[in-house]
Amino acid sequence: MKITDTSDLWWRSAVVYCLDVETFMDWTGDGKGDFVGLAHRIDYLAQLGVTCLWLMPFYPTPGRDDGYDITDFYGVDPSLGTHGDLVEVLRLADDRGIRVIVDLVVNHTSDQHPWFTAARSSRESPFRDYYVWRDAPPPGHEENVFPDKETGVWQRDEKTGQYYQHSFYRQQPDLNITNPAVRDEIAKILGFWLQLGVSGFRVDAVPFLLDTAGVDAARQLLPDPHEYLRSLRSFMGRRSGQSILLGEVNLPYEDQLEFFGGPDGGELTMQFDFLTMQHLYLSLARQDARPLVQTLLARPELPDGAQWAIFVRNHDELTLDKLSDDERQEVFAAFGPEPGMQLYGRGLRRRLPPMLDGDPRRIRMVYSLLFALPGTPTLFYGEEIGMGENLAVEGRSAVRTPMQWTAGANAGFSTAAERKLPAPVTPGGYGPAFVNVESQDHDPDSLLVFVRKLVQTYRTTFEIGFGAFGVLDSGTPGVLAHEMRWDEGCVVALHNFSPESAEVRLPLEGSAVLDLLTGIREPLPEKGPAVLSLEGYGFRWLRLLA
Ligand code: NOJ
């Protein structure tokens, strides 16, 4: 028997599941989710087949940016539990073969962080240079990431009369990574969490972290920020050989390649594929696979071991910023025509099922793609049951409503009074009465059971995570056909973006194909192309049999 050890590259065939402890499960009954609640739901994640849990920020925070404004990088916010509760989650996850990665948010701190409190107390503070200060904003206007709340990236500090940089909200002053003391602090933070047993980090806002342009030229002590990212990765590798940096880098592919460390690698292990995500939505809007095909073909070759993370939804606005204005308007028109569904002029604040009018064929086709595209699938909590958004909740929080466990009060998330919840549960047709774990758990026709099937099939189909990828000519604009070859295996996947059924002719080698999702074998003709049929919005994963 041939044994192939892929375990040292575990992230290439992982199933990542992102959740915020605050909205997942409340065990203490105070209205907020907590680590004890999560501990009680680890078996749910194990049963789903998750292999890597990504915990959104759980650190002490004033909550200006849903935890992405941190006051103590070593702490656990008391409302979520204690270090003891967190370690219990790590232990349980480990026992079920689930790795845990945590958000590393070191582009900025909260303005309440003791470093910033000290830094702003006087220009002579030893912490002053932990942040980026200027006597006046440098020339040229830089737009803030949150244009609905901020007009720029410089904020005057009244007491000391200088301006500090904040790429995000003004309550999130940017750290100055050109300062060696800050780099030492960041290394210590990584070291702390690795020692506690995490398998790596989802690195927040990496291009902002590495952008040192705001630092006064006279104080620039870091000529090449990428060199810093490289040294951080190698530090992490020395501390924990199998740990990963999964970076948030929403940039064109050529720039993303730089964040992998160029063709030789050595910087980020994985990056979210924002371009594939955005063009997937354009393909869905047009019912035409070609925008997605072109994007997949434009992907650069990655360094050894590096990997894309695929996602169709995350906790932020569904950004469409890399589409042209016309393309973005097309997606808006198809999936979020009302201004209240849009955000920052560049994205949508909706979840997938309502955007697709609840059409189960289309929803399943998209999740099939999530697992069949080369890269590591990343689920945002609630996607597996088809949760919708709550547009009555402000901004990005529309998609951060409590996990829907049952049809009961507060979706079974909490026994507290409704007003104590972090956000009201989603109302209407996507609310707990219609969408919840309990009712889908044993229903063979449910989305949850379908996603479990996808996860299981993906996890036993190593071609997806490890294989050489190629787009095949489907001959039909609506259909994406791609192959993945690894070792001696070859899997061909077909996805139909159009409502019309299709017949795809492909020159396939072998005697038959095995449909990995249905188990049905189909013989291949001895001569000539195989003719494979697909229903409208249909999809197939086919293993070629010798
Ligand atoms: C990116 C995160 O995904 C987002 O939620 C957050 O607001 C910003 N970074 C700032 O940390």
pLDDT at residue 526, rounded to an integer: 93
Check residue 109 and give its pLDDT.
Answer: 98
Report whether pLDDT(231) > 90. Answer: yes
Q: How far is the CA of 204 from the centre of ligand 1 (A)?
A: 6
Give the lowest-confidence range in 136-140, 160-164, 350-354, 396-400.
Answer: 136-140
Q: Name 134's bridge partners.
A: 163
Atom index in ligand 1 nearest the CA of residue 69 equals 11
Confidence band of 1 (pLDDT split at 50, 70, 90): very low
DSSP symbols for 431-473: STTTS-HHHHHT-TTSHHHHHHHHHHHHHT-HHHHHSEEEEE-
| CB-based contacts of 455, cutoff 8 Å, min separation 6 | 15, 48, 49, 50, 371
Residue type at position 183 = R
Using alpha carbons only, what angle is made at residue 226 by residues 255 and 127, rounded to the nearest 5 degrees? Answer: 125
- Alpha-carbon radius of gyration of the chain: 24
pLDDT band at 217 (very low <50, low <70, confident <90, very high): confident
What pLDDT does 8 receive?
Answer: 85
Neighbour tally for 420: CB within 10 Å: 14
Per CATH, is 465-545 categorized as 3.40.50.920? no
| Matching residue, tokens 């900025």 | 108
Whole-angstrom distance, CA of residue 231 vs CA of residue 235: 6
Ligand 1 neighbours (beta carbon < 6 A):
65, 68, 105, 168, 204-205, 248, 315-316
Secondary-structure percent of the chain, ordered helix, strand, coil, rounded to 5 = 35, 20, 45
Segment 102-119 mean pLDDT: 98
Atom of ligand 1 nearest to the CA of 208: 9
Q: Look at ligand 1, atom 11, and give the residue with the nearest C-alpha.
A: 68
Whether 248 is a known active-site residue: answer yes
- Please name the helix (run of DSSP H) or strand (run of DSSP E) that holds residue 231, with its range, or none: helix 225-239
> Among the atoms of ligand 1, which is closest to the Cα of residue 167?
10
Taking CA atoms only, the protein residue closest to ligand 1 atom 3 is 316
4 has pLDDT over 80: no
Atom number in ligand 1 closest to CA 108: 11
Average the pLDDT over 133-146 and give the result.
93
Q: What does the pLDDT read at residue 2?
A: 47
Average pLDDT for 17-42? 98
pLDDT tens, residue by residue, 280-296: 999 999 999 999 999 99
% of the chain beyond a pLDDT of 70: 99
Q: Is 480 helix (H, G, I), strand (E, B) or coil?
A: strand
- Does residue 476 have a pLDDT over 60? yes
Q: Euclidean distance between the first and final Cα of the chain, in Å?
A: 18
Q: Is the pLDDT of residue 511 over 70?
A: yes
What DSSP letter does each residue of 103-124 carry, written as one string? EE--SB--TTSHHHHHHTT-TT
Active-site residue, 204 included:
yes
SS3 378: strand
Compute, in angstroms, the gap from residue 532 CA to the centroid of ligand 1. Answer: 43
Percentage of the residues of the chain whose pLDDT score is greater than 90: 96
| 234-275: pLDDT as tens digits | 999 999 999 999 999 999 999 999 999 999 999 999 999 999
Residue 176 has pLDDT above 80, yes or no: yes
The one-letter amino acid code at 275 reads L
The 3-state secondary structure of 144-186, one letter per residue: CCCCCCCCCCEEEECCCCEEEECCCCCCCCEECCCCHHHHHHH
User: Of the residues 73, 105, 315, which should be mutated to test ligand 1's pocket, given the most ligand atoms within 8 Å of the CB?
Assistant: 105
H/E segment holding residue 277: helix 274-286
Average pLDDT, the chain: 97
| Fold (CATH) for 114-165 | Oligo-1,6-glucosidase; domain 2 (3.90.400)
Q: Which residues contact 55 (CB under 8 A, 6 or more apart)?
A: 19, 20, 21, 100, 101, 102, 103
Q: To the nearest 10°, report the CA torsion of 74, 78, 81, 85.
A: 30
Q: How confident is the model at residue 220 (pLDDT cuts 50, 70, 90)?
A: confident
- Taking only the tens place, the pLDDT of each residue in 292-334 is 999 999 999 999 999 999 999 999 999 999 999 999 999 999 9
Nearest CA to ligand 1 atom 5: 316
What mean pLDDT comes out for the span 450-467? 96
Q: Is 336 helix (H, G, I), strand (E, B) or coil?
A: coil
Query: For the chain, which residues make up each domain, given as ranges?
Result: 114-165, 465-545
